[in-house]
Structure 1
């Protein structure tokens, strides 16, 4: 599809000659007064405008400003026979893409227009990718429909625009970094840097310099100055992952940064003011860490202004099949295979598993099963042995390994039904589905065995 160009010049002859020169490569409109130009802008999607600096009694700079008000993405090239340095600077400050003087060199004009369209195409791609990034790290980026995750979404929505420190808690693999990115990319700091520091992955002797930076000669090997993560995150967000593993001596310095909102690079006496939102995450119980003397209580209270707790996958099994389907779709693209989904038997087997590794483990299970599967669907025999022999979600084995007593079939059935009901909080539809019986059949069993919550 051709790009669209609007020529705005009070000389009809110039409009006609420019239309003739451009019509083979672009869709072209022209207007000899701004009122007609504004009508075209309202009715048509214009990519680029050629605007005379003087249009009758009208000031082309003012016309430029009104064009940008219609659509900030419209590129404008100013043209004039009376160019001055001040007018060209003003035009560029007001958003003009370029500035040319009459008499126009047509080769130069065509080259500038071509570059302007390259700029527009690049800008469109950047806007698209930015939108996709924001979409990925807002609620649309989460695959969840469980009530437990709805509570998380509501809390994210409430705190995303404020600068309050946030502590994200939850087991490994539950998606804590995804929540942190969501807070940043859907909030007021989304255009600024998002810096990540894994406090457990960086050696103690390097963590301080990673966070706060250093000057040249601050220590052996510091051959040049380097800004730390806090400095890089100025105006943006810093995400301190696995904060519970931060050494106590670094905790003291972090507390000082949070209190004073300034840092000092290693080897420097100069302080730098900071405007940084701090989001921390941990899979540890920081209250217990405080009691054991491994985490500073004052730092804990500084970080834990707002707490977002992510439930483990076993507590949000409503989301498990949704996530599994997403992983199948993604891995199909990555590996060039065509698995359509899970069999019902495989789904039921996964629902019985506790997923100690949470969402990360689910993805690994799905990928492994997809590679092994012979058919179009993942079946029970394709699942890893860990799913078959690992922990189960409340439906424990009915015969203890050290027990010599076998249970009757009725006793086994009663216990199995009772455990399933308890696990699903007596939600009969879910319980019946996992047990492979009808809701009516489940109701009859409850009555037969005199079961109650």
Structure 2
């Protein structure tokens, strides 16, 4: 497939001449002003720009800045009849690949184009290899090979380069901020800021200022201008953690900002434009919050264009051993330890536990164990007392008792025991029993098993 070159020059004759000279080898298009050039770059796939320094009333350097801001990887070759050292240096500083003086030599231009495309192809290959390495070895601390986590990471890869709002849901401690960071740092906005606002940790009266900043003199003590998180995150990503804790009044202001992509600092009528991606997270059921009139439905739909739900650790127990190894290595560094093993008894306790606090709780347990361990092995006695004494609720049925039960009664007891072990969480129970979720529901109904004691 031919590479596509966009010639940007206000002289139609030069555009026509260059199109004639290059169209046997390249797909050549042209624009005679900045506006048309930007429109074409937005709509069409352009591989390289030949840009004139003088575009009538427009300045080629200004257009170069706009192109590089929108398309950082675009190769731009500057052309001018007004070549000076100052302008060539400025063009290179602003990201131009090189600088040619008019009248152009077609043979020289062809050589420069070949080198430019070779440079571009090399950059793409390097970028691809870097992204492969990052995907393979660094997911911002996200550990997991279970099917549920593989599905989450596949979804992250799909959304990392889009600008749609994303809502990350899941219980406390499941790693929602890690997923938000992975989306940002693996995507096209990775070179730009990632700002976090914990909506539950900042007093309501200060949240608006935290979001939007303030102007000098806006209130007593405002002795200078202050940028808010939205300004600091411009061109990048803002992560609104615990979004359900946002007051109803501030929800309305946030909705307007997301709709109009502009905001005003506290104490100012100035409208400031935003180019930002919004990620948010909650451990609450926002649909229930909407029913209770504590969360705006219109804001919910604005934030929840795409939802990523993180499974609790009890539903991805295949990942516990991986997480144990990860945290042991981490705490070896933190505490200058040399722990290389975990005993079978200790690991069995950790695998049996259901982790209401999820990964954060597992991290705390292993931090405690690493401190307590006196050798290079974590033993059962090094674990916190509540983990050692934890009883999953599995009742051991001996063979004599089994012999007195019918097959259906054995099956009912197995389901009751598994439900108790998994604290009523049916998905984990079904996985433990090796049956489908629908099959579990049918069995609960068939055997009239009381599940009212469990809160799902």
Pairwise same-fold verdict (TM > 0.5): yes
- How far apart are residue 361 of structure 1 and its match? 0.9
Residue in structure 2 matched with residue 385 of structure 1 by the alignment: 385
- Mark the CA change 1:247 to 1:134 in structure 2 (over 3 Å): closer, same or farther: farther
Residue in structure 1 matched with residue 393 of structure 2 by the alignment: 396
- How far apart are residue 138 of structure 1 and its match? 5.8
Residue in structure 2 matched with residue 252 of structure 1 by the alignment: 252
Residue in structure 1 matched with residue 151 of structure 2 by the alignment: 151
- How far apart are residue 89 of structure 1 and its match? 5.1
Residue in structure 2 matched with residue 290 of structure 1 by the alignment: 290
Residue in structure 2 matched with residue 171 of structure 1 by the alignment: 171
User: Is residue 139–residue 153 contact of structure 1 (8 Å, CA) maintained in 2?
Assistant: no
Residue in structure 2 matched with residue 442 of structure 1 by the alignment: none
Name which of 413, 423, 433 aligns with 1:426: 433
- How far apart are residue 133 of structure 1 and its match? 12
- C-alpha distance after superposition, 1:49-90 (max 9, x if no partner): xxxxxxxxxxxxxxxxxxxxxxxxxxxxxxxxxxxx933652
- Separation in structure 2 between the aligned mates of residue 132 and residue 224 of structure 1, nearest angstrom: 45
User: Is residue 174–residue 358 contact of structure 1 (8 Å, CA) maintained in 2?
Assistant: yes
- Separation in structure 1 between the aligned mates of residue 132 and residue 361 of structure 2, nearest angstrom: 26
User: Is residue 137–residue 186 contact of structure 1 (8 Å, CA) maintained in 2?
Assistant: no
Alignment TM-score, normalising by the size of structure 2: 0.61
- How far apart are residue 345 of structure 1 and its match? 1.4
Which secondary structure state, in structure 2, belongs to the residue aligned with residue 152 of structure 1?
A: helix
User: Is residue 140–residue 181 contact of structure 2 (8 Å, CA) maintained in 1?
Assistant: no
- Separation in structure 2 between the aligned mates of residue 235 and residue 376 of structure 1, nearest angstrom: 47
Residue in structure 2 matched with residue 86 of structure 1 by the alignment: 84
* Structure 1: gaps of 5 or more residues: 1-84, 97-126, 400-406, 429-453
- C-alpha distance after superposition, 1:96-128 (max 9, x if no partner): 9xxxxxxxxxxxxxxxxxxxxxxxxxxxxxx9x
- Mark the CA change 1:92 to 1:223 in structure 2 (over 3 Å): closer, same or farther: closer
- How far apart are residue 299 of structure 1 and its match? 0.6
Larger-gyration structure (1/2): 1
Which secondary structure state, in structure 2, belongs to the residue aligned with residue 157 of structure 1?
A: helix
User: Is residue 135–residue 141 contact of structure 1 (8 Å, CA) maintained in 2?
Assistant: no
- How far apart are residue 423 of structure 1 and its match? 5.3
- Mark the CA change 1:140 to 1:252 in structure 2 (over 3 Å): closer, same or farther: closer
Residue in structure 2 matched with residue 376 of structure 1 by the alignment: 376
- Mark the CA change 1:353 to 1:221 in structure 2 (over 3 Å): closer, same or farther: same
- Separation in structure 2 between the aligned mates of residue 348 and residue 410 of structure 1, nearest angstrom: 27
- Mark the CA change 1:143 to 1:229 in structure 2 (over 3 Å): closer, same or farther: same
Matches within 5 A, 1:223-234: 223-234=223-234
Does 2:244 align with 1:237?
A: no
Residue in structure 2 matched with residue 212 of structure 1 by the alignment: 212
- Mark the CA change 1:411 to 1:297 in structure 2 (over 3 Å): closer, same or farther: farther
Does 2:364 align with 1:364?
A: yes
Matches within 5 A, 1:401-416: 410-411=400-401, 415=413
- How far apart are residue 202 of structure 1 and its match? 0.3
- How far apart are residue 379 of structure 1 and its match? 1.6
- Mark the CA change 1:141 to 1:170 in structure 2 (over 3 Å): closer, same or farther: same
Which secondary structure state, in structure 2, belongs to the residue aligned with residue 216 of structure 1?
A: coil
- How far apart are residue 408 of structure 1 and its match? 6.6
- How far apart are residue 216 of structure 1 and its match? 1.0
Does 2:360 align with 1:329?
A: no
